[in-house]
Structure 1
Amino acid sequence: MKRFNIRILSFFLTISFFLTCSFSILAQEKRNDTKNYDFTKNWKFGGGLGLGFGSGYTDIMIAPSAIYQFTPYVSAGIGLQGSYIKSKDRGYYYNAIKEYDSWIYGGSLIVLSNPIPQLQLSAELEQLRVNNSYTYKDLTKRDDNFWNTALFLGIGYVNGPVTIGIRYNVLYREKDMVYGSGFMPFVRMYF
């Protein structure tokens, strides 16, 4: 499994490096006219919202982000994320848990590369603080608080301001209990 992760990471990093270098060289050919340069026109804002409700289950997530478009091919930015999950009597750990609460918050750095207008490659480094609280059927309580780091490498199809794709967390470990899988689909919007 570790060998597979290293191969994927090496592939994406190599492709991203060559694309970034080649687009930087292309960007050098443009004339630098600082007199008419508008710094604000290259910023894009977006993010995600998530809501999930069910019988004894609530999941609310908000994740705003901003990127700066350096060239038509490369952009980078930052993001924030906050989420709250509450679950009651859902059968975790063989029905031992009566209630589960989780607050997750943190930030991320993101780099996007568009080698062609319809294709987007991404790398996102995410650092989250996870605060889990468990109440067991015998009414004992336990808190589990930790930091989780994720490095997502992704590929997506771009249509206007929307990108739909899949990303893989190369640092994924099942025992972290933050994400259910290393692979995650995504929808990304920037305006």
Structure 2
Amino acid sequence: MKKNTLKFNCHLLILMLVFGISNVIFAQEKPLPKAKTGAFWEHVQFGGVFGLSTGNEFTDITVAPSAIYNFNDYFALGTGLQYSHLKQKNYYTSNVVGGSIIGLFNPIEEAQLSLEVEEIHVNSTYADLYNNVKKSFWNTGLYVGAGYHADNITIGARVNVLYDKNKDIYGSAFMPFIRAYF
């Protein structure tokens, strides 16, 4: 089952890359160049994630603001914060707090490559038959990603090259994403 999932995820990533490259080949219009000024804040973009999932006595709330600095049309560097609260009533509670540093490279306007280091602290409590089991640990991720970039939004996927299914909080090394900076 895991091989099929990994194979599907790889095919999805290849499909997204091919779609992005074919879109570049057939593009007719050239975008306007970005303003060239020395003001720091004119090169900063803000974005982030707010996620809310509920159902059947389960809650998942995520808040993750971020900002990037665009050095030029090709390179950007940024940082982000993350907080997540997950709860399955009478079984599981987890709080995740951390931060990340991300580097973005746009070799062409429609393609974006990313490298991100994430460090999060996880506090979890599980209920078993006799008592609660508490776990507290740090989790480090090194993500390599690629996506289709249009205007301020990128749709793509990333892979955690440090993923260890026995130690990682996430269920898979592969993660699709939608990234937006304004």
The DSSP-based 3-state class of the residue aligned with 2:162 is coil
Amino acid at match of 1:142: V
Matched residues, number: 147
Q: Judging changes above 3 Å, is the alpha-carbon distance between structure 1 residues 71 and 144 closer, same or farther for their aligned structure 2 residues?
A: same
Aligned counterpart in structure 2 of residue 173 of structure 1, from 156, 164, 175:
164
Specify every segment of 5 or more residues in structure 2 that has no aligned partner in the other structure, as ranges: 1-35
Alignment of 1:59-98 (within 5 A): 59-88=60-89, 98=90
Match of 2:178 in 1: 187
**Hey, what does 1:57 align to over in structure 2?**
58
How far off is 1:137 after superposition?
Answer: 3.5
Distance in 2 between residues matched to 1:121 and 1:181, nearest whole Å? 20
Alignment partners' CA distance in 1, 2:76 and 2:45: 10
For the aligned residue pairs, the C-alpha RMSD in angstroms reads 1.3
Q: Per-residue CA shift, 1:76-100, capped at 9, x if unaligned?
A: 0100000000013xxxxxxxxx410
Computing the radius of gyration over CA atoms, which structure comes out larger, 1 or 2?
1
Q: Deviations over 1:80-125 (max 9, x none)?
A: 000000013xxxxxxxxx4100000100000000000000000000
1:120 aligns with 2:112: yes
Report the equivalent of 1:142: 133
Runs (5+) with no aligned partner, structure 1: 1-32, 89-97
Counterpart AA for 1:44: Q
TM-score, normalisation: structure 1: 0.74
Corresponding residue number in structure 2 for 1:106: 98
User: Equivalents in 2 of 1:37, 1:187: separation in Å?
Assistant: 29
Question: Which residue does 2:48 correspond to in 1?
Answer: 47
Identical residues among aligned pairs (%): 47
Detail structure 1 runs of 4+ shifted over 4 Å in the superposition.
none
